[in-house]
Chains A and B, each alone.
Chain A
Amino acid sequence: MTVETTEDLKLSNAQIAWRAAQDIRDGAYVNLGIGFPEMVARYQPPGRQAIFHTENGILDFGEPPAEGEEDWDLINAGKKAVTLKPGAAFFHHADSFAMVRGGHLDVAILGAYQVAQNGDLANWRVGSKGVPAVGGAMDLVHGAKQVFVITEHVTKDGKPKLVEACTFPLTGVGCITRVYTSLAVIDIVDGRFVLREKLPGLSFEDLQAKTGAKLHTDGPVADLVAPEL
């Protein structure tokens, strides 16, 4: 007989990405951060097609090309080769960030080291050592109508990533509207974490114990259920 501990009970990265993808409407203009957030594009529900923006100047790019078919003038912000969908557009960097800061994107999805209950995000460096590199992260957190984070609920050594106040250097202040974690879906409302969904096998108390700030509820908490992926 195996005993399932709460440590085993969590969504995979693919399942977190799948859950976030369910909240992107058809026709939304979306920027996915480099790395884990890019996975969200794979899980758009049938019948919906978002238009993806990349900072280096493409709207409506698609899948990577086959190996050997790369055009190195056609890359995304992660410097990976991409393809174009019919209806794609090119533009220069100032226009690209006008789309970001100017409130034209519907959704931006980023990773996080820490998210604070007031919506502060830390996701660009963890200390003052080494070579700092910020890219477009500080721009992306401002201007999109909704700024989502997808993340493990706790760090590899079990520390909360959802906290009262970030201790790592900030990317932006009061900028995050919703967090999809490996355990829960949490909105940020008026400086508070408001729990919307949690894994059905996880008690509120256990989730609270893994969260670095008080969890609030505002109406019923739904079950967080994702398919096997």
Chain B
Amino acid sequence: MDKTIASAAEAVAGIGDGATVMIGGFGGSGAPIELIHALIDKGPKDLTVINNNAGNGRIGIAAMIDAGLVKKMICSFPRSSDPRAFTEAYLAGKVELELVPQGTLAERIRAGGAGIPAFYTPTGYGTELAEGKVIAEFDGRAYVQERWLKADFAIVKAHVGDIHGNLTYNKAARNFNPLMCMAAAKTIAQVSKIVPLGGIDPEHVVTPSIFVDGVVEIANPQQEEVLIRSGAVYA
């Protein structure tokens, strides 16, 4: 078995109109910029995108919004150092927003990957983000019922991958990536380096290969923050 994919374009070729796509990363850390840009090149419409944020500057998810690919964002913090793309599209009514507290977003994705359809959390109780949700009391305290999140595709960024799709991450670039790998019907990881089987110490595997469907090597991946500071535009 070899899950290696030759190019970013091939990796995202299956993502079509109307798909729900989880995109890893927290801000630029762990954001699969090359896979996102390949997806813009392919150009599917009406995507629902799940990410912590909603893009920055004129690259990555912001460039997806500028290119008209995104119908809905599910995120916790649609702000950044340059949030124009999302802000303009949202205020113009072109993109829907489902705002989710950050820890609830992470847990909904984890639950989606773990086969747990709903769970209760104290987060958001008594706030406008809990309006319309089921509330239950456990041991004298009120909790909000939240549903799992699943996706058709996850595109993530990891550090080293083997040909089965075992993954390691670089520093805090881990963030949402391991959770999203679990929660999508099809998960594609871009990695800085693909190694043969046995090339990753089993003690160091963060995402086991069972959660990964394809691995594409992008050596020296771009960093969103560096692109933003250079004023880069992807169009």
Contact = CB atoms under 8 A, between A and B. Distances in A.
A90 B77 contact: no
A135 B125 CA distance: 15
Interface size class of B (residues with CB under 8 A): 35 or more
B171 to A, nearest CB: 4
B99 A97 contact: no
A133 interface: yes
B48 to A, nearest CB: 18
B28 A131 contact: no
A96 interface: yes
B28 A72 contact: yes
Contact of A56 (B29, B97, B123, B170): B29
Interface string A115-154: 0000010000000001111111111001100000000000
B172 A97 contact: no
B78 interface: yes
Interface size class of A (residues with CB under 8 A): 35 or more
B127 A172 contact: yes
A130 B88 CA distance: 10
Contacts of B109: 94
A213 interface: no
Interface centre among B26, B90, B121, B176 (most CB of A within 10 A): B26
Contacts of B123: 101, 138-139, 142
A134 B28 CA distance: 18
Contact of A131 (B52, B86, B177, B225): B86
Contact of A71 (B30, B79, B124, B171): B171
A55 B52 CA distance: 12
A15 to B, nearest CB: 29
B106 A93 contact: yes
B122 to A, nearest CB: 4
A38 B133 CA distance: 33
A79 B28 contact: yes
Given A56-B175, A74-B171, A97-B103, 18 more contacts: A54-B172, A56-B26, A56-B29, A56-B172, A57-B26, A73-B170, A73-B172, A75-B29, A93-B102, A93-B179, A101-B122, A131-B79, A131-B91, A133-B76, A134-B76, A138-B101, A173-B125, A173-B126
